[in-house]
Chains A and B, each alone.
Chain A
Amino acid sequence: MAESDNIVVETAEKIFADLADPQTINNDKTNSWQAPLWQALSEAGLPLAWVSDDLGGSGASLADGFALLNAAGRFAVAVPLAETMLAGWLLAQAKIASPEGEMTVVPASPKDRIALDADGALSGRARGVPFAKTAKHFAVLAHGKDGVSIALIDAAKARIEAGLNVGYDHSDTVTLDKVRPVAIKLAPKGFEQTHLMLMGGVARSLQIAGALESMLDISVRYSNERVAFEKKISKFQAVQHNLARLAGESAAALAAATSAADAIANARSFNDEIYLEAASAKIRCAEAAEKGGGIAHQVHGAIGFTMEHILHRYSLRALAWRDDFGSESYWAVELGKLVANRGADELWPLVASR
């Protein structure tokens, strides 16, 4: 379990513990917890952690922001914290100031494209946009005749078909039909949609890793409490071995996600090595979400399958997060192509590059 070793994470964990306790949230059928949680996060400057002071944010480092996302995963936080952070980060690439309130990014899948026309209006459809329904603004990456642009738009100008992902969080289809942005600028030279997807993928990887850490924690605790066949189920070797595998999946997810985050935080450009780190994190964390989450449920038995129990808050979100910013199948194909294109004798040098 990663200890909070920086002030950003400490602040966030205190807020999560006070206002986003999974059991309290799970008992609350009215969603009355959302507003106070968002307000506290905003007052602490966390949603705009990756935005510098002069652009309206709190100017935390990339590394601190990544650690914050890992902590958010440990609490299965279900407000658009990651999405607003990513939107602020995207806008900051083009030196566009971030507004207050919830944001998300459009598109949120590598296969969707938003077009910028000659009149400066944005059009296109993006599927699976997390929290589009509750966001006030969207940070949009668009392709125009001069290349990639980054824009801030008012969410009310978009048509939104609401949907829910398997974790019961909003995952919506956003359609832009000649929408005039609040602000728009060309992206820095060399900035591509792939970079947004890799960044989003690493954010989701850290959240999945955090959720797995918590799933391991509550599964171990449950196995030490639950008695069956006249002993604690933690004493059965079959259960022990399942939990050891869950620990392994949790460890693998954490290692892959924190390594990718560290790589991006210290990168000068998005080269093949960063691509390997970020794509691998998304692939491996998604696999861990399936395997690890499955074990957590197996340990809990029927109680873990109920809405009353908190396990699903982690397990289903971890599964849902696999889909955002490119699924593991998508990244596996892309990474496979990259490796094949570099050639067999360049595979090991790439893996051993750091």
Chain B
Amino acid sequence: MTAALRFDPIRLPEKCEQLRKEVRAFLAEEIAAGTFDPHKPNREDTDAPEFSRRVGARGWLGMTWPKKYGGQERSFLERYVVTEEMRVANAPTRRFFVADRQSGPVLLKYAPEHIKMDILPQICRGEICFAIGMSEPNSGSDLFAAKTRATKTDGGYLINGTKIWTSSAHIADYMIAIFRTSPPTKENRRHGLTQFLVKMKQPGIKVNPIGQITGQYEFNEVVFTDHFIPDDHVLGEVDGAWKQATSELAYERSGPERFLETHYVLTELVRAVGPNPDTRSAEGIGRLVAQLHTMRRMSVSVAGMLEAGKEPVVEASIVKDIGTIWEQQLPHRVRDLAAFVEETATNRETLERQLDFAIKTTPKLTIQGGTTEVLRGIIARGLGLR
């Protein structure tokens, strides 16, 4: 037997359900206080710094990290519950989400102690925002073609070049980026890139907003001109970023955010069809719910593997491949089903407005954080095909 894919039926432990109640109550309070509207995923400004601090105050950021860095030493499954409840409520998580999911764990693993002591508690308090500097104008999915240079200078490095499609760079306090410290070698084209911690809002960094087809400005071009980074901001091995990138992917690719981005249109459709749907609506909703349930079971299963200390890279890639295609198709299927919703449905306008926005978001879902093509390459490698 070649393939060794496992998706064991992981159940969330009892303590998660208590936590879920707390998160729901907190979000209900925030909604009541007008912090955000759960029916409006297309907010003009998705940055909510005060909300971020209140989430931090609850102990829901950096939940799995050691207590000495401000964490709670709780399980990945508990973090999972917080993440999915925030996502389903359309809560404004932009300011803290990347730091909590991805940047914090990288710092935990590769940053020097004094930087961990400085920055990780700030993330846990919801005070700082992170961006990820991977793509460049001529290097997207082909990460190892990155050209932005980090040139050794006295006490650090000088950075010159451009990162692009960098989400949240306009509000970020820090970026974790890869820069070229050496040319690639003949034997290993992945050699020569180094991971750095970049302090944003400093001389030599210019952030230019880029408009997206949704009408939002979430991503940016970030231009570095002789920007200085001190030596202690190198994360991990110089020239060896390629060894560090893969373990992050399982965290990045298997979470509930990989199939819940357009979830709100399904809820709104159920509201619009009412308690006695016709056969067509019932069948359509039934299939979508079965697919959603299956996605979530797969995703929870991967969270269980992470909790058990495994590195389910292939399983995580499968979750993102199937999950992003599902959330991409969802608004279109809901639109099909909504075509015959009664004119009198009270939420008709809400559903139409949501669909209008969701349909515009769909193209990005299978691109951001690793394209479908890249994911299938990883899965194929896991199957022993390359």
* In contact, A243 and B277 (Cβ under 8 angstroms): no
Q: Which residues of B contact A276 (CB under 8 A)?
A: 289, 293
B296 within 8 A of A: yes
With A243-B385, A255-B294, A259-B9 as given contacts, are A337 and B282 in contact (CB-CB < 8 Å)? yes
* In contact, A247 and B383 (Cβ under 8 angstroms): yes
Q: Which residues of A contact B274 (CB under 8 A)?
A: 340
* A300-354 at interface with B (beta carbon < 8 Å): 328-329, 331-337, 339-341, 343-345, 347-348, 351-352, 354
Min distance, Cβ A231 to any Cβ of chain B, angstroms: 12
* B264-297 at interface with A (beta carbon < 8 Å): 266-268, 270-271, 273-277, 279, 281-287, 289-297
Q: Which of under 10, 10 to 19, 20 to 34, or 35 or more describes the interface residues of A?
A: 35 or more
- A220 to B270 alpha-carbon distance, docked (Å): 41
Chain A residue at minimum C-beta to C-beta distance from B12: A354
* B1-35 at interface with A (beta carbon < 8 Å): 1-9, 11-12, 20
Q: Which of under 10, 10 to 19, 20 to 34, or 35 or more describes the interface residues of B?
A: 35 or more
* In contact, B267 and A336 (Cβ under 8 angstroms): no
Min distance, Cβ B165 to any Cβ of chain A, angstroms: 23
Contact of A247 among B12, B276, B291, B379 (CB under 8 A): B379
B88 within 8 A of A: yes
* In contact, A347 and B322 (Cβ under 8 angstroms): no
Min distance, Cβ A96 to any Cβ of chain B, angstroms: 31
* In contact, B289 and A344 (Cβ under 8 angstroms): no
- A281 to B291 alpha-carbon distance, docked (Å): 9
- A276 to B275 alpha-carbon distance, docked (Å): 17
Which of A251, A255, A333, A336 has the most chain B CB within a 10 Å cutoff? A255
* In contact, B321 and A244 (Cβ under 8 angstroms): yes
Contact of B3 among A216, A262, A345 (CB under 8 A): A216
- A337 to B318 alpha-carbon distance, docked (Å): 30
A85 within 8 A of B: no
B369 within 8 A of A: no
* In contact, B273 and A340 (Cβ under 8 angstroms): yes
A213 within 8 A of B: yes
* In contact, A255 and B301 (Cβ under 8 angstroms): yes
- A243 to B283 alpha-carbon distance, docked (Å): 29
Min distance, Cβ B257 to any Cβ of chain A, angstroms: 14
Q: Which residues of A contact B384 (CB under 8 A)?
A: 220, 224
- A173 to B267 alpha-carbon distance, docked (Å): 41
Q: Which residues of B contact A254 (CB under 8 A)?
A: 5, 7
* In contact, A339 and B270 (Cβ under 8 angstroms): yes
* In contact, A280 and B380 (Cβ under 8 angstroms): no
* In contact, B293 and A329 (Cβ under 8 angstroms): no
Min distance, Cβ A347 to any Cβ of chain B, angstroms: 6
Chain A residue at minimum C-beta to C-beta distance from B385: A234
Q: Fill in one digit per residue for B53-86: 1 if any A CB lies within 8 Å of its CB, else 0.
A: 0000000000000000000000000000000110
* B292-309 at interface with A (beta carbon < 8 Å): 292-298, 301
Min distance, Cβ B253 to any Cβ of chain A, angstroms: 13
* In contact, A247 and B293 (Cβ under 8 angstroms): no
* In contact, A279 and B290 (Cβ under 8 angstroms): yes
A284 within 8 A of B: yes
* In contact, A284 and B290 (Cβ under 8 angstroms): yes
Min distance, Cβ A320 to any Cβ of chain B, angstroms: 20
Chain A residue at minimum C-beta to C-beta distance from B381: A240
With A241-B376, A336-B277, A343-B270 as given contacts, are A247 and B286 in contact (CB-CB < 8 Å)? no
Min distance, Cβ A328 to any Cβ of chain B, angstroms: 8
- A223 to B383 alpha-carbon distance, docked (Å): 11
Min distance, Cβ A285 to any Cβ of chain B, angstroms: 9
Chain A residue at minimum C-beta to C-beta distance from B268: A344
* In contact, A335 and B289 (Cβ under 8 angstroms): yes
* In contact, A240 and B376 (Cβ under 8 angstroms): yes
* In contact, B282 and A250 (Cβ under 8 angstroms): no
Min distance, Cβ B37 to any Cβ of chain A, angstroms: 15
With A216-B3, A336-B281, A343-B275 as given contacts, are A351 and B289 in contact (CB-CB < 8 Å)? yes
With A220-B3, A244-B379 as given contacts, are A341 and B289 in contact (CB-CB < 8 Å)? no
With A244-B383, A251-B5 as given contacts, are A334 and B88 in contact (CB-CB < 8 Å)? no
A248 within 8 A of B: yes
Min distance, Cβ B325 to any Cβ of chain A, angstroms: 9
Chain B residue at minimum C-beta to C-beta distance from A239: B385
A193 within 8 A of B: no
* In contact, B318 and A248 (Cβ under 8 angstroms): yes
- A234 to B266 alpha-carbon distance, docked (Å): 38
Can you give 23 A-B contacts (C-beta < 8 A)? A216-B383, A220-B384, A235-B385, A239-B385, A243-B383, A247-B3, A248-B321, A250-B5, A251-B315, A252-B295, A255-B298, A256-B297, A258-B7, A283-B287, A332-B285, A332-B290, A333-B279, A335-B285, A335-B289, A337-B286, A340-B275, A341-B276, A347-B266
Residues of B within 8 A of A (CB): 1-9, 11-12, 20, 84-85, 88, 263, 266-268, 270-271, 273-277, 279, 281-287, 289-298, 301, 314-315, 318, 321-322, 373, 375-377, 379-380, 382-386
Q: Give me the 9 closest cross-chain CB pairs, A-B, nearest first.
A: A336-B282, A332-B286, A336-B286, A344-B271, A240-B380, A255-B7, A335-B286, A262-B9, A283-B290
With contacts A284-B291, A354-B11 known, what are 16 further pairs, Cβ within 8 A?
A1-B6, A216-B2, A216-B383, A234-B386, A255-B7, A255-B294, A279-B290, A280-B294, A284-B294, A332-B284, A336-B281, A337-B286, A339-B289, A344-B270, A348-B267, A351-B296
